[in-house]
Amino acid sequence: KHACAHRRALKGNALCWARPLRRSDARAADQHCAVVSDPATFAASPRPPPAAMGQTHASGTFFHNAAIKEHFVAVPALWTEQDLSTLVDRLKDMTLNFSLDKVKFAKLLQLSVSYEDSVAKWFTDFSHDRASQVVDGLEFLSSVIMLSSKVPLFKKVCLLFGLFDLDKTGCIRKDEFTIFLKAITTGLHRMVSGVPPPATVVELGALSSEFFSTLQSQVLSQRELVMWMTEAHYSLHYLSLLSRLGTALFAWGTNHRYQLGLSMEPRVQRVPAPVLPLEGLRIAKVASSESHCLLLTEDGHIWSCGSGFCGLLGHGDTQDSPQPRVIEALTHTKVVDIAVGIRHSIAISEKGQVFTWGSADMGQLGHGGTEDREVHEWAPDPKNGGTFAYVVKPTVVMTLFGQRINAKKTACCSFSTAVLTDQGHLYTWGNNTDGQCGQGQKCPDHSLIYVDPHMQRTAMQALLLPRRLQLQMPVSFQKIACGGYHMLAIDEHNRIWSWGRGLWGVLGHGDQRSMYDPKLVDTLKYQICNEVAAGEVHSMCLTSLYRLTITGSNADIDLSPFSLLGLPTGRVDRQSERRQSVTPPNTSLQLNAFASAGLVQLPLPPRHDPDAPLVDPAQIKPSDIQESIVLIDRSLWEGEWLRLDSSDFDFRVKMSTSGAQLPARHGISAPIMYAVEGTWEPTTDCVDKVCVFESTQAMAEKTTPQDLTPLILDIALKCQQGQAFACVVVLPPDVEVFDIKTEGMGAPEGMALQQIPFGVMSSEHGSALKKHITRMINMRIATAPENVPEEVRDWKQCREEFTGRTYFENETTGEKRWAPPQINPQTQASLLVVREDGFLRRLQGVVELSPRAIIVCQQSWRPDVELVALPEAMLQTLEVPVVMVTFEAGEELKGVVANGSQPWVSMEIQPYGGVCAWGNGSYGQLGLSGIENQNFLTKAQNVLTGEQNLFTSRPCYIAHLHEHQVQGVACGHAHTAAVTQQGEVFTWGMADGLGVPLDRPMSEVPMFVEQLEGLVRAKQVYAGYCQTFAVAQMPFKSIV
């Protein structure tokens, strides 16, 4: 009855809301995401997809300068949570339709006489535009609740739910939700300046209908209201104003053990949502496992939430905590770092003390044997019928304290712990069965621990006390990261060391062997590695990139400075020592560059010929090269290629082994003819040409090589009879290139085809070739007199007298043909065969010319940059900086060279931006899929179980993120997250931790977390088992 009465009062009133804007679909290509294998996997979340949750964005004119109006400045501090709860109950008891005259309004508030004038002004402001001169109690009270500075944000939402549960049924219906939207936004517009003006009831009703259509039931629970208010952009804009979230922590992923700390959330939080109980706290670090989460604030306090078994949360008990609670035992200690394992936690104080708590079953706490009952507690183990030891409160690791070890950083494997000291020393303890402690296979301090005394082969080697990591050579470490059973560390020279279990190549040494002592990751030893992260079975690192700033040195041609990013190849460590301040010609820029010189392009052939001179001295003087930064193309990879003199694009072809072979040294060069079905004459159009034929209509219906082969051979035979130099046929879409065999043909035809090289090209490359040829033909038409090229000028279309068949006749020569005359694109084609990749020899040859630096442009077939492993002998003597840029960046640089602006390039080291990955990628957590014409992953299948795994045992570059300037990366169990300098967040791997609603179990390519787009700018990301956290600044300054 309350809802019906208030609905009547709604009519005719102006309301405030905006139309929802749906998020676009996830940005990863569908072909690189796996298909759902178990739909039940995605039934864990009981709520609708967030795209339907009224998500909007605010106009730039609203919220930025919002302020509480003068008459209402006293409102935020007037009522406590209990007071507001009393007001909610009093309002519902006073009137059916919540309309309050002046007497009822004062009776509702029951303020002292000193507020009499304020109450009168409030009544006037809330009733001046109503004919009946009454105040809508819902408008006023909902606004008061949201403006309160004495009530935490989560409690505000709970009070609102109680207020708009008009019929006291424990839920909100669709009409009540419409009333909620109207009341709260209109009320806030009356009290606060700078918020959006009212909208219409029709718009609000449509918004409510859209939202409720996505719910599993037609009522809204308190939990769903919390979710809506923390996920919809428009509501988050209001929450930013009306709370103390400030720099907020956004969380998403699995929450089945309360690891996210979200209030009343489901088992899986699909999209990022702010953790409301942390309102007013600034989070410095997050450490999360599959059971619990630690949150370190900037003032050095630790909050924890999740499952409390084994004393994981540090509260002195084993109780669960759905919402974060401060660890009281450490409130008088300023903590600077935290980490968690599967069942234990660690914290490091500002003074270097190390505290641990949780399970002690594998010695991971570092307190020695579990017999010490003053430190450990014991509880029955229902799994094996025995007992297990644990510590329920943060306890100082006395071994380190007694040695006056000053710890600074820490990290945890599943059952092992590592601490990094201020001297760069590493101390490790806990499970060392697979070498994850790095103390050697025959460490004398090993203890044998049986996971289950009643089962054979459950013995584990463990270190019960911290032990310093000793290397044969002196090494000082500066950063540490731990995966499930392996560790990564960065030394003072920015090199990566790894040790532990090597399964799936997670150590990056090129094999799957476990390492019991730290070993240098050779692939990256000359790169500058600034950050490492480790998941259960995968590893990540953040490397430096080269920033190329291009300016013009020709004062007569204007060239605005611009920058490109390149992937370093070779000795990056040497270039960091050569940086100095430079000012490029004709600019006022101040750059800290290691190389700065004019840019010269070396016109090298597409493939490397060791017998031909690399550079013609008549064209480019050696002295000019030595004073310049040179631009070269990467040589072609092994295979067969079609190239055009009018394009830098490389078309991959597969030539038949049954036809004539391409000349190994020079290939075949001739004018190209690109023919569409029915537009060519075999006897005249093919003569002395490289002929490319578009897939015919008959081919479009074929999908197998067996069906396509006869059709292709028929075209090749006609082409041979027409005296062509070579024949290439474009395959239908989704058909892989294959070797065309002449088996089964008659002897005359087979012998004829042995006289011509013929083969096939993929549909994708055929489309690109057709587009280019069409563009060349259109250019000829546009520049020809009367737009008619000479070769088709004298031709006219005719019809046979009796059959009506169309033919073409040359008015000058009388020549006739059935197909239309072809326009010559005037492009020379070359068919080449590359027997081996000659890039390293080409690079060595250019290095020997001693330029200031070398820029290598990728070819179009593999347009993305990649890590190149140079021979160790070459690396030892390499002094010239080498950088690789994408095909698109190379084309831009070539264009600048061609326009005569005399480009000048300055090279700097950018300390972030490059992301490398290695280890197991079965769930897409490496992000290496979908990189064009690259396959980094090796497939391994268990012959007994049929289980398949994809992995790479050496670091590979994630080209998807090359130009996004990644500055932070974090690994979960089987997913990865990255944050860019622009505040964007990317995730990839297992779907639960991605923050992007998917109907697939994983994403194999990095996906943009669009929920955060246009809302916040992320500063850092952290990852737990299947959880992700982002620290981000809320969009607007608080007014409460």
Q: What is the residue-averaged pLDDT of the chain?
A: 90
pTM for the whole structure: 0.90
pLDDT at position 15, please? Answer: 24
* CB atoms inside a 10 Å sphere around CB 573: 15
Q: Are 91 and 144 in contact (CB under 8 A)?
A: no
What is the full DSSP assignment across 468-517? E---SS---EEEEEE-SSEEEEEETTS-EEEEE--GGGTTSSSS---EEE
pLDDT at position 810, please? Answer: 93
Q: Are 841 and 848 in contact (CB under 8 A)?
A: no
Three-state DSSP at 408 gives: strand
* Maximum C-alpha span of the chain: 114
For residue 19, is pLDDT > 70? no
pLDDT at position 799, please? Answer: 92
> What pLDDT, in 10s, does the model give residues 637-679?
999 999 999 998 999 999 999 999 999 888 999 999 999 877 8
Q: How far apart are CA 314 and CA 419, in angstroms?
A: 19
pLDDT at position 97, please? Answer: 87
Checking DSSP bridges between strand 758-761 and strand 795-799, what pairing results, if any? Answer: unpaired
Q: Give the confidence band of 217 by pLDDT, cuts at 50, 70, 90.
A: confident
Q: How far apart are CA 410 and CA 393, in angstroms?
A: 18
Q: How far apart are CA 905 and CA 893, in angstroms?
A: 10
Q: How far apart are CA 760 and CA 713, in angstroms?
A: 11
Element (H, E) at 270: strand 268-274
Q: How far apart are CA 149 and CA 521, in angstroms?
A: 53
Tokens representing 860? 């179009």
Q: Are 620 and 600 in contact (CB under 8 A)?
A: yes
Q: How far apart are CA 661 and CA 654, in angstroms?
A: 11
Beta bridge partners of residue 910, listed in sequence order:
545
* CB atoms inside a 10 Å sphere around CB 121: 14
pLDDT at position 264, please? Answer: 65
**How much of the chain exceeds pLDDT 90, in percent?**
79
> What pLDDT, in 10s, does the model give residues 310-336?
999 999 999 999 999 999 999 999 999
Q: How far apart are CA 672 and CA 826, in angstroms?
A: 8
Q: Are 538 and 532 in contact (CB under 8 A)?
A: no
Q: Are 544 and 912 in contact (CB under 8 A)?
A: yes
Q: Which of 708, 763, 777 is nearest to 739 (CA)?
A: 708
Q: For CA atoms 841, 847, 851, 853, give the dihedral sign.
A: positive
740 CA to centre of own chain: 41
Residues 6+ apart with CB under 8 A from 375: 367, 391, 395
Q: Average of pLDDT values for 766-771? A: 95
Residues 6+ apart with CB under 8 A from 39: none
* CB atoms inside a 10 Å sphere around CB 398: 15
Three-state DSSP at 817 gives: strand
Beta bridge partners of residue 325, listed in sequence order:
304
Checking DSSP bridges between strand 853-857 and strand 650-655, what pairing results, if any? Answer: unpaired
Q: How far apart are CA 425 and CA 494, in angstroms?
A: 15
pLDDT at position 55, please? Answer: 36
Better-scored residue on pLDDT, 38 or 147: 147
Q: How far apart are CA 865 and CA 961, in angstroms?
A: 11
Q: Look at the block and give the residue holding tokens 């549909």.
A: 763
Tokens representing 696? 């015919």
pLDDT at position 253, please? Answer: 96
Residues 6+ apart with CB under 8 A from 759: 640, 653, 654, 655, 656, 659, 727, 728, 729, 740
Better-scored residue on pLDDT, 227 or 477: 477
* CB atoms inside a 10 Å sphere around CB 21: 14
Q: Average of pLDDT values for 43-69? A: 55
For residue 232, is pLDDT > 70? yes
Q: How far apart are CA 1018 and CA 997, in angstroms?
A: 19
For residue 856, is pLDDT > 70? yes
pLDDT at position 395, please? Answer: 97
> What pLDDT, in 10s, does the model give residues 481-492?
999 999 999 999
pLDDT at position 482, please? Answer: 98
For residue 24, is pLDDT > 70? no
Tokens representing 75? 């409102």
Distances from the Cα of 1024 to the Cα of 260, 279, 295, 974, angstroms: 10, 21, 12, 10
Better-scored residue on pLDDT, 456 or 387: 387
Q: Give the confidence band of 613 by pLDDT, cuts at 50, 70, 90.
A: confident
Most confident of 1-15, 191-205, 227-241, 913-927: 913-927
Q: Are 754 and 747 in contact (CB under 8 A)?
A: no
Q: Which of 835, 832, 790 is nearest to 690 (CA)?
A: 832
pLDDT at position 266, please? Answer: 66
Q: Give the confidence band of 554 by pLDDT, cuts at 50, 70, 90.
A: confident
For residue 28, is pLDDT > 60? no
According to DSSP, residue 821 is labeled P
Q: How far apart are CA 118 and CA 111, in angstroms?
A: 10
Q: Give the confidence band of 610 by pLDDT, cuts at 50, 70, 90.
A: confident
Q: Give the confidence band of 46 by pLDDT, cuts at 50, 70, 90.
A: very low
